[in-house]
Structures are given as C-alpha cells and as structure tokens.
Amino acid sequence: MKVQQIIVKKPAASFAQGLTTANLGTPDYSKVLEQHRAYVEVMEEAGVMVHQLASDNDYPDDVFVEDPAVVTSKFALITRPGADSRRGETEAVEAALKDYHRRMYTISEPGTLEGGDVLHVEDHFYIGLSTRTNKSGAEQFEAILQKEGYGATIIPLKEFFHLKTGIAYLGDNTVLTAGEFIDHDVFKKYKQITVSQEEEYAANCIRVNEVVIVPEGFPETKRKIEEAGFMTREAAVSEFRKQDGGLSCLSLRF
Ligand code: CIR
C-alpha cells in the first residue's frame, strides 16, 4: 500500500505524566522532541506528506496518535480508547481527519478500541482483544469492515499490550512476529520473520513505501528483515519506549 500522508502530533510538555508500565525511567523532554523530529524526517524521506497537529498538555499520551483512529483509503474510524485518560484525544484527531473526506465511523459505548490493536494487511484487518480493546469494540469495528468490503479476524491477546506490540506486516505477504504470535495459527498463511525474546520490542516496525522503519538498537531483527529482501531505516524511539510506545503508535499512515 502506498502511504501518501501521515498525521503526527507534537509531544506534549506533559508527556512524562502519561501512562506507562515500562519501568525504564522518566523520558527526557528535549530528547523526546529530538526523536520525534527525527521520526518525521525519516517519514519524509520515505516519501510521505506530514500533517503535524499541535500538542495538548491535558493529554500526555496524545503523541501516540495511532490509538484514537484507524484510517484506510475508504474510511476513517474514530475509536473509543480503553484508557480513560486518553478518551478525549479523539476530538482533535477527528477534526483533523475531516479534511481528508473519508466516510467517518465511531465506536460507541460500551465498546472500546485502540488503533494499536488493529493490524491492516491488504484487504484484511486483525483486531486484538486486549486490556484496551474489548469484545464490543472489536465487533463494532468488524461490522464496519464487513460493510466496507474488508475481512476481519478478532484475536484475543495473551500477554502483549497491543496487537501491534508483537506483530507487524512488512508487505510482500510477510509478517514480523514475536512472542505469542510466533507460529500463531491465524498468521500461518504469511511468510514469517521472527523476533527473538531479547529484541521483542523490535516487533513494532512499520513499512512505509519502499522502506521498513525499525527501532534503533536491535541489530539482529534489522539483519533478518534485510536478509528477507527489505530495505530498512532506523529511528531512535527510546524515549517513547519509556511510555510503552513504539514506531507505529506515533503516526496515522494512509
Ligand atoms: C498508553 O499507555 O496508552 C501510552 N502510554 C502508550 C500507547 C502506545 N500505543 C500503541 O502501542 N499503539
């Protein structure tokens, strides 16, 4: 899929007050800004137009703009984040997406769904059931996908935070898998590149046009992806990792 544009959001000054389970220390705000700028540059080099939204200190996690929406070439879904503190993030993203003239859908109560639990593979979507995405949210999204002519598979997660914490689609019928998704029945039809336990964080990569963007500092995974024939680019995301975030969370790509 050609990625033409992305939406990102400038990290809020309150970023360090966001949700985290990582135990990796407090993010350094100047480094957060620097890594975010570098992420935007890597994206521009990959050939996308970048639409940057202003930050909002009331929402320390709002740089993880992937969670309040899912965007395809046909429609946009405004989600209902499972984390209470993130629910209001949808407003700014919905306003931004109105410029792109897609059919708009929403997830309604009692459903919850976060974009991190949605993996788009050609004309099919995988939806993870997690602590953030519940059955009602997943089923509401499944009904929307059916109406729009896409397939859907709902997958209960065992350990991962979000679905895409442990799996990425690299294009060319190939998935990158870690932990509970290695040799998972649902993904058997794809070629598989596996991520070792030591490098588990690197399962969250993103394919953007000709390149696979990988987090900096995971040489084994990078090498495996290159050996499978993909071109890679690294981006440093250590400060986002401290808040349980990764490469995919930082943008909406469409
Ligand atoms: C949160 O707990 O919601 C944020 N600190 C991290 C969200 C990461 N998003 C993602 O994996 N899609």
Question: Any idea where the domains of the chain sit in the sequence?
Answer: 5-253
The answer to whether the CB of 61 is under 6 A from ligand 1 is yes
Q: Give the tens place of pLDDT for each residue, 166-217.
A: 999 999 999 999 999 999 999 999 999 999 999 999 999 999 999 999 999 9
Measured in degrees and rounded to the nearest 5, phi and psi for residue 222 equal: -60, -45
Residue 62 C-alpha to ligand 1 middle, in angstroms? 9
How far apart CA 42 and CA 235 sit, in angstroms, is 7
For ligand 1, atom 12, name the residue with the nearest CA.
116
What is the ipTM metric for this complex?
0.98
- Determine what percent of the chain is predicted with pLDDT higher than 90: 98
User: What's the predicted TM-score (pTM) here?
Assistant: 0.97
Distance, CA of 115 to CA of 120 (rounded, Å): 10
- Of all protein residues, the one whose alpha carbon is nearest to atom 8 of ligand 1 is 245
Q: Is 249 in the pocket of ligand 1 (CB under 6 A)?
A: yes
Predicted confidence (pLDDT) per residue in 58-106, tens digit: 999 999 999 999 999 999 999 999 999 999 999 999 999 998 988 999 9
Q: In CATH, which superfamily holds the domain spanning 5-253?
A: L-arginine/glycine Amidinotransferase; Chain A (3.75.10.10)
Beta bridge partners of 233: 213
Q: Which helix (H) or strand (E) holds 126?
A: strand 124-129
Whether ligand 1 lies within 6 angstroms of the CB of 15 is answered as no
Grouping H, G, I as helix, E, B as strand and the rest as coil, residue 242 is: coil
State which ligand 1 atom lies nearest to the alpha carbon of 114.
12
Condensed to tens digits (0 to 9), the pLDDT of residues 23-63 reads 999 999 999 999 999 999 999 999 999 999 999 999 999 99
Closest ligand 1 atom to Cα of 246: 11
